[in-house]
Amino acid sequence: MLAMNFRGPRQIRLDRNKPEPEIKHPYDAIVRVTRSLICGSDLHLYHGRVPDTRVGMTFGHEFTGVVEAVGSGVQKLNVGDHVLVPFNVACGSCPHCKQELYGNCNESNPQATAVGGFFGYAHTGGGYDGGQAEYVRVPYADVSPTKIPEGMDLENAVLLTDVVPTGYQAAEQGGIQKGDTVVVFGAGPVGLMAARFAWFFGAARVIVIDHVDYRLEFARKFAFAEAYNYRDMKDPVLFVKKATDYFGADVCIDAVGCDASGSLLQDITGKGLLLQAGSATALHWAINSVKKGGIVSIIGVYGPPWNLAPIGSLMNKGITIRANQASVKRLLPKLIDHIMSGRINPKEMITHRIPLEDVSDAYRMFSSKLDHIIKPLLIPPRAHAA
Amino acid sequence: MQNELENTIAEFQDRIIADRNLDTRTKDIPGWGMDADPENDPTYPMKHWNGADHERLNYEKAPQQPIDMEVLHSVERPGITRVFGNSTPPSGLSGAVRRYAYQFSEATATHWMTLILADRINVIEGKLSDLTHGILPNPWIERGWRAEWKHNRPAFISKAATTALLITAGLLLLKKKNKRK
């Protein structure tokens, strides 16, 4: 089958002869991929920043597909079902899953206890091949995969596997109260969704800060946000303080993670010398920009083992940090309702529809922000097979 | 590492000790539990607390996926999870380095930095494997230079020219040094 094949940092090959996945466990399903997205967090893998990313692996944790085969223990899914597959591999029965922390499953990732199991996200995420391929093995098929509701656009369905719930949870974690001013650092797909959903929780002002002008323009239209380029500022923290009556934002959301730009020190130590797990610039700004007693929501991905962050300010300001990988299954009913009722149309952020065969180009375009790309969608050649 | 406390402590005693304390010891601790507030849970609404945490690892588990390949696992868990990814098992020199890394907990730099080292070794192994299988890497496609050429041509040309210039200057410098010797 065709599959994306990681060959090293910034090097992706289209593998034309990857063996098709097989059922390995009674609760497995095999899914023929119909749509797949490249996530901003895939770029951390692409840039070589996530430990235990092995050559030959297939990335991709946002995909929809048609069930082609099921294991002997699968009861809820049938061959032919068209499903959206949340990026979390979740057993449904460990204490974390039972308390709806599906992103923190205890039975899906042998390699790391700090991380749940995710499709196509290195061995740090459990060593599963992902959905940037024609077929995928989907473990615990009865738990997270969800039949695509009748009438839902396929592009909206695939966005429900990660970016929509992740953006929603970023806002939800912020504990936003009616009337709050919310600052979102990062105008990538997750930041845009977080900004859009901040209004759902009653925000009175939503401010997005990034350095890519076309994305800021998109934030104004898609997320109804005030959007500013930090390259037009000497000090983004001072800007937020002044913009919030020298009080600080009620809630700050770090929707960037370890690939942040904006600080030479963080760039050199985090992205150049790898002395920390990428650059923590956005988190630094978020902690310093939020009000005393405010909440910082971290949804951007950081690798282990550590990052430079102002813990002293965190303690002295009495800040609450809330962070987690999105628990997609928990959020799906609410988000399906938001989409089906027309309150949000996330597919507006898909700017590029690219054949799987051109996956190398797609990664480079997304990484270098070429051609005003916001969210690239991959379409495998067998997407429309009978 | 043999005699360190983490290697000698009796495992799976947490609930036994906790239950024993709840039965006996906590009664004698003034004020025990009087300010407990189940709603004081900063993880809500992400987590719907139902006490399952106190089951620890005694929950209903799926059958074990047959372990038909080498699966490294974190020392912070007692064994392999009931399912696991079967992509790219450890192999070669990078596999040996990964095996070493997995002897250390996720709290240590040794674990993660050794894995990064293994990743870089693995890239070289990948290139050698390509060559032995008669596959010539195609950076034009695989590194996305084609996309840069299409969408970002001036910057791409300038970056390529600068790189070529730096390499040429480096080679000339080396040549000059060698002549002096």
pLDDT recorded at residue B29: 83
A58 to chain B, closest Cα gap in Å: 8
Chain B residues whose CB is inside 8 A of the A322 CB are 42-43, 46
Beta strand A146-147 pairing with A82-85? antiparallel
Q: Identity (one letter) of the amino acid at A246?
A: Y
pLDDT recorded at residue B4: 86
Task: Tell whether the model's pLDDT for residue B1 goes beyond 60.
Answer: no
One domain, residues A74 and A116: yes
Phi/psi for A154 (5° steps) reads -60, -35
Task: Tell whether the model's pLDDT for residue A279 goes beyond 80.
Answer: yes
Cβ A173 vs Cβ B46: under 8 Å: yes
One domain, residues A115 and A185: no
One domain, residues A367 and A279: no
Question: Which tokens is A4 given?
Answer: 């994306």
Asked whether the beta carbons of residue B81 and residue A109 sit closer than 8 angstroms, the reply is yes
Which of A323, A343, A362 terminates a domain? The answer is A323
One domain, residues A7 and A154: yes
One domain, residues A185 and A274: yes
pLDDT recorded at residue B11: 87
A34-65 burial, b at 16+ Cβ within 10 Å, e below that, comes to bbbbbbbbbbbbbbbbbbbbbbbbbbbbbbbb
pLDDT above 70 as % of chain A: 99
Task: Tell whether the model's pLDDT for residue B2 goes beyond 80.
Answer: no
| pLDDT tens, position by position, A56-88 | 999 999 999 999 999 999 999 999 999 999 999
Which of A273, A304, A323 terminates a domain? The answer is A323
Task: Tell whether the model's pLDDT for residue A107 goes beyond 90.
Answer: yes
Cβ A110 vs Cβ B78: under 8 Å: no
Tally of domains within chain A: 2
3-class secondary structure per residue, A225-266: CEEEEHHHCCCHHHHHHHHCCCCCEEEEEECCCCECCCCHHH
For residue A305, is the peptide bond before it cis, meaning its omega torsion is within 30 degrees of 0? Answer: yes
| pLDDT tens, position by position, B61-70 | 999 999 999 9
Query: In 3-state terms, what secondary structure has residue A326?
Result: coil
Query: Best mutation site among A361, A367, A372 for testing chain B: the one with the most B CBs within 10 Å?
Result: A361
Stretch B32-47: mean pLDDT: 76
| pLDDT tens, position by position, A156-174 | 999 999 999 999 999 999 9
Task: Tell whether the model's pLDDT for residue B40 goes beyond 90.
Answer: no
Confidence of residue B7 (pLDDT cuts 50, 70, 90): confident
Which of A323, A345, A371 terminates a domain? The answer is A323
- Which of B60, B50, B84 lies closest to A92 in space, CA to CA? B60
Asked whether the beta carbons of residue B62 and residue A109 sit closer than 8 angstroms, the reply is no
Residue span of the structural domain in which A241 resides: 167-323
Task: Tell whether the model's pLDDT for residue A386 goes beyond 70.
Answer: no
Mean pLDDT taken over chain B: 91
Query: Best mutation site among B67, B119, B132 for testing chain A: the one with the most A CBs within 10 Å?
Result: B119
pLDDT above 70 as % of chain B: 95
pLDDT recorded at residue B31: 83
B151-170 burial, b at 16+ Cβ within 10 Å, e below that, comes to bbeeebeeeeeeeeeeeeee
Query: Best mutation site among B71, B84, B143 for testing chain A: the one with the most A CBs within 10 Å?
Result: B84
Taking the C-alpha atoms of B151, A222, A40 and A139 in order, what is their torsion angle to the nearest 10 degrees?
A: -130
Cβ A168 vs Cβ A255: under 8 Å: no
Query: In 3-state terms, what secondary structure has residue A46?
Result: helix
Kindly state whether B70 is in contact with chain A, defined as any CB-CB distance less than 8 angstroms: no
Stretch A195-224: mean pLDDT: 96
One domain, residues A211 and A101: no
| pLDDT tens, position by position, A111-129 | 999 999 999 999 999 999 9
Kindly state whether B159 is in contact with chain A, defined as any CB-CB distance less than 8 angstroms: no
Q: Give the integer Cα–Cα distance in Å for A160 and A157.
A: 5
Q: Give the integer Cα–Cα distance in Å for A12 and A6.
A: 5
B175 to chain A, closest Cα gap in Å: 29
pLDDT recorded at residue B15: 85
One domain, residues A224 and A355: no
| pLDDT tens, position by position, A213-238 | 999 999 999 999 999 999 999 999 99
Asked whether the beta carbons of residue B60 and residue A367 sit closer than 8 angstroms, the reply is no
Chain A residues whose CB is inside 8 A of the B74 CB are 110-113
pLDDT above 90 as % of chain B: 66
One domain, residues A67 and A201: no
One domain, residues A13 and A158: yes
Beta strand A226-229 pairing with A249-254? unpaired
pLDDT recorded at residue B181: 67
Confidence of residue A194 (pLDDT cuts 50, 70, 90): very high
Who among B86, B106, B145 is closest to A113 (CB)? B106
Kindly state whether B163 is in contact with chain A, defined as any CB-CB distance less than 8 angstroms: no
Q: Give the integer Cα–Cα distance in Å for B35 and A87.
A: 39
Asked whether the beta carbons of residue A368 and residue B122 sit closer than 8 angstroms, the reply is no
- CATH number of the domain enclosing A278: 3.40.50.720
| pLDDT tens, position by position, B80-136 | 999 999 999 999 999 999 999 999 999 999 999 999 999 999 999 999 999 999 999
Q: Give the integer Cα–Cα distance in Å for A383 and B33.
A: 57
Pairs of residues, one from chain A and one from chain B, whose beta carbons lie less than 8 Å apart: 218
Query: Best mutation site among B61, B72, B77, B82 for testing chain A: the one with the most A CBs within 10 Å?
Result: B82
One domain, residues A183 and A305: yes
3-class secondary structure per residue, B56-79: CCCCCCCCCCCCCCCCCCCCCCCC
Chain A residues whose CB is inside 8 A of the B116 CB are 51, 274
- CATH number of the domain enclosing A144: 3.90.180.10
B 95-154 residues with CB < 8 A to A:
98, 101-102, 106-109, 111-113, 115-116, 118-120, 122-123, 125-127, 130, 137-139, 141-148, 150-152
Mean pLDDT taken over chain A: 96
Q: Give the integer Cα–Cα distance in Å for A276 and A184.
A: 23
One domain, residues A242 and A362: no
Task: Tell whether the model's pLDDT for residue B18 goes beyond 90.
Answer: no
The tokens 């090959």 sit on which residue? Answer: A13
Who among A98, A128, A368 is closest to B50 (CB)? A98
Kindly state whether B76 is in contact with chain A, defined as any CB-CB distance less than 8 angstroms: yes
Beta bridge partners of A136: A31
Neighbours of B126 (CB within 10 A): 23
Ranges of each domain in chain B: 5-137, 138-181
One domain, residues A37 and A147: yes
